[in-house]
């Protein structure tokens, strides 16, 4: 199912299609000067530029580069479940890899649990762990318990502690009956739950979850979410940085969210405050038939339309259209335009703003839409 976004040029966009972020971005909530909560993660103007191999000039210098991060400033409090939202290629995974010491930043400073991840990488590694969605799940020839034990040993966890934690965590993720099964025989969901255990078995202070529920069924995703919440509630100093494609998941789990695109943070606040950005800009959803590219374009440029996304409905010629408007009156113009292009409305409703709407407004496209 494809989703398209049609928009009017606004003051926050530049002609290159890259959102311009003001130095004092009002969408990034400033830290209160009286706030004394310790920080678990802090990044200062972090950038990362990739050199594309094979693109060199006569002097052997790399001619093609890709800027994945362009000066990111983030502060994540200890005890916070912090979400990082962004489309594919936004820079989320690059930022996580820098914070987990796997990648060096091209510029800027990064601290995790008070440690510089470049200069104090070894010490930082003792305090962190990471789980990526869809990652390879240990050696297939070993059992679930053996794999988890092996990875726990790389962090110096004693055998006794490791076995106790493995038993406890496998029970929590409902995988205890597979403890002695070979990993090669597990389903995708079971492997991901095992991965999840691997990330927490070392008792880290900061955990990075990169799309942890990617490809999981509803039940497995629920288990993972519940576990994350329970794990954090056990110790208020534990911190999670989560990236996800699922807006509802971010909304449900995260204390605060940063929306990132083209390597820059566009907004950072609590889900409720982010949704308030759209309080004065009503969100309408129209299900309509008889539309074509021309009529869709005309509606996107109707007076008062801030953003419009169009999604072809499954198995039919109808479209599901979502509008963020300057005010409610603008819907009249949209309906008139639709009628003038011989479109027929199947349904029309006004929605409460969601994180998805905030994302569309800020990024200019929906999260499910791949970059062109």
Which listed residue (20, 104, 248, 329) binds other proteins by CB under 8 A? 104
149 binding other proteins? (CB under 8 A): yes
100 binding other proteins? (CB under 8 A): yes
Which listed residue (142, 172, 345, 348) binds other proteins by CB under 8 A? 142
Taking alpha carbons only, the member of 132, 280, 152 closest to residue 212 is 132
Contact, 86 vs 267, CB < 8 A?
Answer: no
- What minimum distance in Å lies between the beta carbon of 200 and other proteins? 14
111 binding other proteins? (CB under 8 A): no
User: Which tokens sit at 21?
Assistant: 């972020």
- What minimum distance in Å lies between the beta carbon of 127 and other proteins? 9
Q: How far apart are CA 92 and CA 112, in angstroms?
A: 16
97 binding other proteins? (CB under 8 A): yes
- What minimum distance in Å lies between the beta carbon of 124 and other proteins? 9
Q: How far apart are CA 241 and CA 256, in angstroms?
A: 10
CA angle 188, 192, 197 (to 5 degrees): 150
Other Cβ atoms closer than 10 A to 232: 19
Beta strand pairing call for 81-85 and 256-261: parallel
Closer to other proteins at the Cβ: 129 or 244?
Answer: 129
Instruction: Write the burial class of residue 182 (CB in 10 Å: 0-12 exposed, 13-18 middle, 19+ buried).
Output: middle
322 binding other proteins? (CB under 8 A): no
185 binding other proteins? (CB under 8 A): no
Closer to other proteins at the Cβ: 101 or 309?
Answer: 101
Taking alpha carbons only, the member of 298, 364, 359, 369 closest to residue 334 is 298
Edge-first strand listing for the sheet containing 344-351: 3-7, 305-312, 319-325, 283-289, 344-351
196 binding other proteins? (CB under 8 A): no
From residue 199 to residue 238, the character string flagging contacts with other proteins as x (rule: CB under 8 A) and all else as - is ---x------------------------------------
From residue 122 to residue 141, the character string flagging contacts with other proteins as x (rule: CB under 8 A) and all else as - is xx-xx-xxx-x--xx-xx-x
First to last CA, the chain: 15
153 binding other proteins? (CB under 8 A): yes
156 binding other proteins? (CB under 8 A): yes
Q: How far apart are CA 108 and CA 319, in angstroms?
A: 45
- What minimum distance in Å lies between the beta carbon of 66 and other proteins? 10
SS (H, E, C) 288-304: EECCCHHHHHHHHCCCC
Q: Using alpha carbons only, how large is the chain's radius of gyration in Å?
A: 23
Number of chain residues interacting with other proteins (CB under 8 A) = 36
- What minimum distance in Å lies between the beta carbon of 53 and other proteins? 7
User: Which tokens sit at 49?
Assistant: 């530029």
- What minimum distance in Å lies between the beta carbon of 28 and other proteins? 27
Q: How far apart are CA 122 and CA 119, in angstroms?
A: 9
DSSP strand E in 65-114: where?
Answer: 65-77, 81-85, 107-112
Which listed residue (150, 181, 312, 313) binds other proteins by CB under 8 A? 150
Instruction: Looking at residues 28 to 87 of the shown chain, list those that interact with other proteins (rule: CB under 8 A).
Output: 50-51, 53
- What minimum distance in Å lies between the beta carbon of 179 and other proteins? 16
- What minimum distance in Å lies between the beta carbon of 40 and other proteins? 17
Site residues (vs other proteins, CB under 8 A): 50-51, 53, 97, 100-104, 122-123, 125-126, 128-130, 132, 135-136, 138-139, 141-142, 146, 149-151, 153-158, 182, 198, 202
């Amino acid at each position: 199912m494809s989703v398209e976004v049609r928009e009017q040029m606004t003051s926050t966009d530049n002609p290159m299609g890259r959102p311009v972020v003001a130095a004092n971005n009002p969408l990034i909530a400033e830290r209160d000067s009286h706030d004394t909560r310790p920080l678990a993660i802090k990044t200062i103007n972090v950038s990362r530029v990739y050199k594309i191999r094979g693109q060199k000039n006569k002097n052997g210098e790399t001619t093609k580069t890709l800027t994945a991060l362009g000066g990111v400033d983030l502060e994540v409090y200890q005890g916070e479940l912090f979400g990082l939202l962004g489309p594919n290629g936004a820079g989320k995974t690059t930022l996580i890899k820098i914070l987990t010491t796997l990648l060096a930043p091209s510029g800027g400073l990064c601290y995790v649990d008070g440690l510089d991840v470049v200069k104090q990488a070894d010490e930082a590694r003792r305090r962190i762990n990471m789980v990526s969605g869809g990652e390879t799940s240990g050696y297939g020839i070993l059992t679930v318990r053996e794999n988890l034990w092996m990875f726990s040993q790389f962090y110096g966890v004693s055998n006794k502690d490791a076995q106790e934690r493995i038993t406890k965590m496998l029970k929590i993720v409902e995988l205890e009956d597979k403890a002695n099964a070979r990993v090669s025989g597990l389903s995708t969901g079971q492997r991901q739950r095992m991965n999840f255990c691997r990330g927490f078995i070392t008792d880290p202070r900061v955990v990075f979850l990169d799309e942890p529920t990617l490809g999981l069924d509803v039940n497995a995703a629920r288990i993972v979410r519940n576990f994350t919440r329970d794990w954090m509630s056990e110790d208020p100093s534990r911190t999670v940085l989560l990236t996800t494609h699922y807006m509802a998941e971010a909304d449900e789990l995260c204390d605060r969210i940063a929306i990132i695109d083209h390597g820059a943070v566009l907004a950072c606040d609590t889900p409720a405050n982010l949704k308030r950005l759209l309080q004065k800009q009503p969100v309408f959803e129209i299900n309509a038939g008889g539309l074509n590219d021309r009529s869709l374009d005309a509606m996107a440029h109707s007076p008062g339309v801030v953003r419009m996304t169009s999604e072809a409905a499954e198995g039919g010629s109808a479209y599901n259209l979502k509008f963020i408007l300057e005010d409610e009156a603008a819907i009249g113009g949209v309906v008139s335009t639709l009628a003038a292009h011989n479109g027929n409305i199947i349904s029309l409703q006004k929605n409460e703003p969601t994180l998805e709407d905030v994302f569309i407004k800020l990024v200019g496209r929906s999260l499910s839409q791949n970059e062109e």
